[in-house]
A and B are shown apart, each in its own frame.
Chain A
Amino acid sequence: MTNLTTRLAFYPIILLVYAILLIPVVVVIATSLTVQSSPTLPTDGVTLEWYATLFQNQRLIDAMIVSTIVACATAVVAGVIGTITAFGFVRSETGGKETLATIMLLPLMISPVITGVAFLRFGGLLSIPRGYPQIILAHSILALPFVFLIVRSRLLTFDDRLEDASMIMGANRLETTLNVTIPVIAPAMIAGMLIAFVISFGEFTATQFLVTPGTTTVPIIIFNQIQTGLSPEISALATTLVAIMIIVSVLGDRIGG
Chain B
Amino acid sequence: MKFGNVQLPELPTISMLEDRSTPKLLMAVGLGWLTIFFIIPVVVLLFESLNFGEGSLLENYSTALSGTYLWTLGRTMAYAFITTVVCLILGYWIAYYIAFKAKRQMLMLGFVLLPLWIAIIIRFFGVSLFFLPTGPVQQVFGTDFGVLFSTSGVIIGLTSALLPFAILPIYNSLQSIDEELVNASKILGATPIRTLWTVIFPLSLSGVVASALFVYILAAGSFLAPAILGGPGDFMMANVIEQSFSYSIPLAAALSVVFTVALLILIGIFNRYANISEVLSDL
* A residues in contact (CB < 8 Å) with B: 1, 6, 10, 13-14, 16-18, 20-28, 31, 38-41, 43, 81-82, 84-94, 98-115, 117-119, 121-123, 125, 137-138, 140-141, 144, 148-149, 153, 161, 163-164, 167-168, 198, 201-205, 208-209, 219, 222-223, 226, 230, 234-235, 238, 241-242, 245-246, 248-249
A234 to B129, CA, bound (A): 11
A-B CB contact pairs (8 Å), 18 listed: A6-B101, A14-B93, A21-B160, A24-B122, A27-B130, A84-B26, A85-B29, A88-B22, A89-B26, A94-B24, A101-B277, A104-B30, A106-B38, A109-B267, A144-B30, A144-B34, A209-B245, A222-B125
Which among B45, B115, B259 is the interface contact of A25 at CB below 8 angstroms?
Answer: B115
- Candidates B220, B224, B277; contact of A99 at CB < 8 Å: B277
CB contact under 8 A between A249 and B220, given known A31-B129, A235-B129: no
Q: What is the bound-complex CA distance between A199 and B114, given in angstroms?
A: 14
Contact between B39 and A106 (Cβ–Cβ < 8 Å)? Answer: yes
Q: Within 8 Å CB of A94, what residues of B? A: 23-24, 27
Q: Which residues of A contact B3 (CB under 8 A)?
A: 161
Asked if B44 contacts A149 (CB within 8 A), the reply is no
Which of B's residues lie within 8 Å of A, judged by CB? Answer: 3, 11, 13-14, 17, 22-31, 33-34, 37-42, 44-45, 48, 90-91, 93-94, 97, 101, 111-112, 114-115, 117-130, 132, 134-136, 139, 156, 159-160, 163-164, 167, 192, 217, 220-224, 227-228, 237-238, 241-242, 245, 249, 252-253, 256, 259-260, 263-264, 267, 276-278, 280-281, 283
B93 touches A102 (CB 8 A): no
- A28→B34 contact, CB < 8 A: no
* Chain A contacts for B28, CB-based, 8 A: 88
**Complex Cα–Cα for A213 and B238 (A):** 23
**In the complex, what residues of B have CB within 8 A of residue A203's CB?**
119
Known contacts A92-B23, A223-B121; is-contact A111 B238 (Cβ 8 Å) = yes
A138 to B38, CA, bound (A): 8
Contacts of A17 in B (CB 8 A): 90-91, 93-94, 163, 167
- B186: shortest Cβ distance to chain A, in Å? 12
> What residues on B are CB-neighbors of A22 within 8 Å?
111, 114-115
Closest residue of A by beta carbon distance from B38: A141
CB distance from A51 to the nearest CB of B (A): 16
How many angstroms from the CA of A166 to the CA of B47 in the assembled complex?
A: 51
Contact between A85 and B223 (Cβ–Cβ < 8 Å)?
A: no
User: Majority SS of interface residues in chain A?
Assistant: helix
A204, B221: Cα distance in complex, Å: 13
Residues in A whose Cβ lies below 8 Å from that of B222: 111
Say whether A118 contacts B126, CB under 8 Å.
no
B126 and A98 form a contact (CB under 8 A): no
Contacts of A93 in B (CB 8 A): 23
B126, A113: Cβ atoms closer than 8 Å: no
Q: A21-B160, A24-B127 are in contact. Are A141 and B34 (CB under 8 A)?
A: yes
Return chain B residues, CB-CB under 8 Å to A90.
23
**Interchain CB contact under 8 A, A98 and B217:** no
Closest to A91 in B: B23
| Chain A residues within an 8 Å CB radius of B242 | 113, 117, 208-209
For B42, the closest partner residue in chain A by CB is A118
In the complex with contacts A27-B130, A92-B24, A115-B38, A121-B238 CB distance below 8 A: no
Q: Which residue of B lies closest to A142 (CB)?
A: B38
Bound-complex Cα distance A110 to B121 (A)? 19
Q: Tell whether A13 pairs with B90 under 8 Å between CB atoms, given A23-B126, A85-B26, A222-B122.
A: yes
Given contacts A20-B159, A25-B122, A242-B122, contact A114 B259 (CB under 8 A): yes
Given contacts A41-B135, A88-B23, A98-B277, contact A24 B126 (CB under 8 A): yes
Provide the bound-state CA to CA distance between A248 and B117, in Å.
9
B29–A84 CB distance below 8 A:
yes
- Given A111-B221, A204-B121, A40 contacting B41 (CB threshold 8 A): no
Known: A27-B130, A92-B27, A110-B260. A245 touches B39 (CB 8 A): no
